[in-house]
Amino acid sequence: MALPQDKTPLLSLPIEQLPGEGYRRGQLATWLYVKGARQWEEMTDLPKALRAEWAAQYRISEFAQVAPYPSQDGSVKYLFTLLDGQKTEAVYMPYLNRKTICISSMVGCPAGCTFCATGRMGFGRNLTAAEILDQILFAAHHQGHAPREIRNVVLMGMGEPLLNVENVFAALKRMLHPQGLAMSPRRITLSTVGIPRGIYKMAELGLEVRLALSLHAPDDETRQQIIPTAHRYRITEIMEAVRHYYTQTKRRITLEYTMLKGVNDHEWQARALAGLFKGISAHMNLIPWNSWEGAPHQGSPKAQILRFAAILEQQGIPTSVRWSRGRDVGAACGQLALKQPDQPQAQLSRL
Ligand code: SAH
Ligand code: SF4
């Protein structure tokens, strides 16, 4: 019998290419994406012989092990060990009636932003479409929900999604597909450090998901100090791509701006931001910086964050401050770097 890593991952297949004829294929899609089955035995309305045949060729789960770390605020960080032993993470946030999951697109990240713990760990590898999707399916299952009960997905975990476009776009297609997770594109947010060709490609495919741009500075000089990839893409070039995406989709653009003391929190920078967004509907999220060991930064003081927010509002940019969740288990923005807080709830191995 083949090892799991030698089998074809079902979640990597477009729905139309799942095994089986029309009716059987539909049943399989329902088990995976509607009922969230993680074992062949669960699929009781499929003939046993067919299940055995498929089980020999295909795999359902992408993980060798999963360790959940519940935070005091209700969010749960999942540390996934992939079939090749590499690790990645996702964070489930059950607040109110908007069950949300923050998922990863890579192991580590090659962009190397100085304020981000994932950037510090460097690049491991791209996640496959199956590994991206299975983070959602596993978390739903572990939380006792059907997959479609998870209503919001944000691609804000480890990695830069627009440097892994093939796998990320394939996963997005399965999230949006009516026989897949059947999500509304308005409930999916892709966060990027700003890779213009990826933004154009997303517009071209017509995926229509929300775009979040991690801007972090209104000027190239400051941006290049904290985001090494900014040497390749200037703000004007990124803004052109964002403007194009906005024109195509008419979706309000989200901006993310991590507040770093003495780096990007000056009042002149708040005023400079307004000029960049003429003609685009945008919403600014100011993110108080989350600390991690060995980081070369300090977060801006609360008073400075509020002053910065007030200037942006005055300049006509709607602004929120995002106080992070999950800090106690290293699950807040930019803290995902596989550092394990104390003990997981339990190490799960029948996945
Ligand atoms: N690579 C993508 C998505 C993952 S990072 C991107 O950069 O957009 C998701 C968000 O977390 C980004 O806006 C990033 O700037 C922010 N972030 C990274 N490190 C952080 C930290 N230590 N504190 C607060 N936010 C951080
Ligand atoms: Fe990568 Fe985003 Fe972290 Fe930058 S902030 S290193 S792009 S994950």
For residue 270, the 8-state DSSP code is H
- Predicted pLDDT at 275: 87
Q: Are 215 and 257 in contact (CB under 8 A)?
A: yes
Residues with Cβ within 8 Å of residue 7, at least 6 apart in sequence: 56, 57, 58, 59
| Identified catalytic residue from 109, 113, 116, 333 | 333
Q: Ligand 1 centroid vs 28 CA: distance in angstroms?
A: 36
- Residue 192 CB less than 6 A away from ligand 1: yes
Q: If you count DSSP H runs as helices and E runs as strands, how many of each does the chain have, helices first?
A: 10, 14
- Residue 344 CB less than 6 A away from ligand 2: no
Kindly report the three-state secondary structure assignment for every residue of 291-324.
CCCCCCCCECCHHHHHHHHHHHHHCCCCEEECCC
- As a whole number of angstroms, the distance between CA 263 and CA 298 comes to 9
Let me know if 102 is a catalytic residue.
Answer: no
- Residue 109 CB less than 6 A away from ligand 2: yes
**pLDDT tens track of the chain, all 351 residues?**
789 999 999 999 999 999 998 899 999 999 999 999 999 999 999 999 999 999 999 999 999 999 999 988 889 999 999 999 999 999 999 976 789 999 999 999 999 999 999 999 999 999 999 999 999 999 999 999 999 999 999 999 999 999 999 999 999 999 999 999 999 999 999 999 999 999 999 999 999 999 999 999 999 999 999 999 888 999 999 999 999 999 999 999 999 999 999 999 999 999 999 889 888 999 999 999 999 889 999 999 999 999 999 999 999 999 999 886 666 666 666 666 665 555 666 666 556
- The minimum-distance atom of ligand 2 relative to the CA of 116 is 3
Q: Ligand 1 centroid vs 334 CA: distance in angstroms?
A: 5
- Predicted pLDDT at 98: 86
Let me know if 116 is a catalytic residue.
Answer: no
What are the Cα distances from residue 145, in Å, to 26, 125, 151? 21, 30, 11
- Predicted pLDDT at 81: 96
- Predicted pLDDT at 277: 87
Q: Ligand 1 centroid vs 159 CA: distance in angstroms?
A: 9
Residue nearest to atom 4 of ligand 1 (CA): 156
pTM of the model: 0.94
For residue 31, the 8-state DSSP code is I
- The minimum-distance atom of ligand 1 relative to the CA of 155 is 3
